[in-house]
C-alpha cells in the first residue's frame, strides 16, 4: 500500500523477502552395477549347484554303486548255485546218463579238463589264465556301469566265469589244472553246468545290447551322434540316454 513521506513523496511498500532454505541437489540412490553383477553370479551359482545336486556326480555315483551291487549280487548267486549243484552232482550222479526229457536232456557226471564241447582238453593252464583275465576285465568294466541290463548281463557272466574258475583252481588233479564238473547233458552234443547256462544267457544279452547300440554306461549310439551335432551347432548335447528307455528297448 503506498505511503506519504514528510516531503510529500509517495513510497511503495515492499514486502520483505521470505528467507528460503538452501537447497542441494541430492542424487537418487541407484543400484551399483558391480553389486548387480555379484548378485547375478550368486544366482547362477545357486542354479548350477541345484543342477549338480539333481544331475551331478553324486547322483551318478550312487546309481553306479547300486548297479555294481546288483552285478555282485547276481554273480554271487550264480557262483553259489553253481557250486552247490556241482556238489550235488558229485554226490548223486555217475558216468551213466539219466534221461530227463527223452534224448533231449539228461544228467551225466563228467570231469572236463577243457572248455565247452571238450575243446582244448590239454590246455587247462591256458584256460585258467583266460578265466582269470576275463574276471579282471569284468571288474574293470563294472566301474563304468550305467545300465541295469548291462549289470545283469555282466553279473551272469562274472558268476559263470568264477564258477568254472573255482573248479580249475581247487579240484583234482591240482591247482590251476582242475577239471570242471559238468552234469547237464544236452542231446548228444555236450555236457555243461549251471555256470555255462549263466554264461550263455549273458552272451545273448550282450549281443542284444550291442545290436541296440546300448553302451555299458547306459548311453546309446544315436545319443552320442546327437551330442556331436549339438556341439557343432553351439548347443549342449543331450548327454546320457534315459536308462529305463535304453534297457526297455533292449529287452523289447
Catalytic positions: 182, 196
The β-bridge partners of 110 are 182
Sign (positive/negative) of CA torsion 134, 139, 145, 150? positive
SS3 105: strand
What one-character-per-residue DSSP string does 107-145 give? EEEEEESSSGGGTTTT-HHHHHHHHHHHHHHHHHHGGG-
Classify residue 104 by its DSSP letter: T
> Which strand (E) or helix (H) includes residue 17?
none
C-alpha cell at 207: 549281443
Residue among 171, 182, 179 at smallest CA distance from 108: 182
Amino acid at each position: 500500500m503506498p505511503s506519504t513521506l514528510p516531503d510529500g513523496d509517495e513510497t511503495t511498500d515492499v514486502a520483505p523477502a521470505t528467507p528460503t532454505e538452501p537447497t542441494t541437489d541430492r542424487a537418487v540412490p541407484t543400484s551399483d552395477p558391480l553389486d548387480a553383477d555379484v548378485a547375478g553370479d550368486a544366482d547362477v551359482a545357486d542354479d548350477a549347484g541345484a543342477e549338480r545336486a539333481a544331475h551331478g556326480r553324486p547322483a551318478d555315483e550312487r546309481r553306479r554303486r547300486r548297479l555294481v551291487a546288483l552285478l555282485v549280487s547276481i554273480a554271487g548267486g550264480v557262483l553259489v548255485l553253481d557250486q552247490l549243484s556241482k556238489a550235488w552232482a558229485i554226490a548223486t550222479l555217475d558216468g551213466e546218463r539219466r534221461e530227463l526229457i527223452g534224448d533231449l536232456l539228461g544228467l551225466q557226471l563228467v570231469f572236463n579238463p577243457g572248455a565247452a564241447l571238450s575243446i582244448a582238453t590239454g590246455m587247462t593252464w591256458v584256460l585258467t589264465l583266460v578265466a582269470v583275465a576275463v574276471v579282471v576285465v569284468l571288474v574293470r568294466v563294472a566301474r563304468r556301469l550305467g545300465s541295469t541290463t548291462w549289470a545283469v548281463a555282466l553279473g551272469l557272466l562274472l558268476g559263470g566265469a568264477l564258477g568254472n574258475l573255482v573248479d580249475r583252481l581247487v579240484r583234482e588233479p591240482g591247482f590251476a589244472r582242475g577239471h570242471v564238473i559238468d552234469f547237464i547233458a544236452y542231446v548228444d552234443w555236450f555236457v555243461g553246468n549251471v555256470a555255462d547256462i549263466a554264461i550263455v544267457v549273458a552272451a545273448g544279452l550282450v549281443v542284444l545290447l550291442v545290436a541296440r547300440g546300448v553302451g555299458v554306461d547306459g548311453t546309446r549310439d544315436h545319443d552320442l551322434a546327437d551330442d556331436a551335432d549339438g556341439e557343432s551347432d553351439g548347443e549342449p548335447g543331450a548327454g546320457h540316454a534315459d536308462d529305463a528307455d535304453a534297457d526297455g528297448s533292449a529287452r523289447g
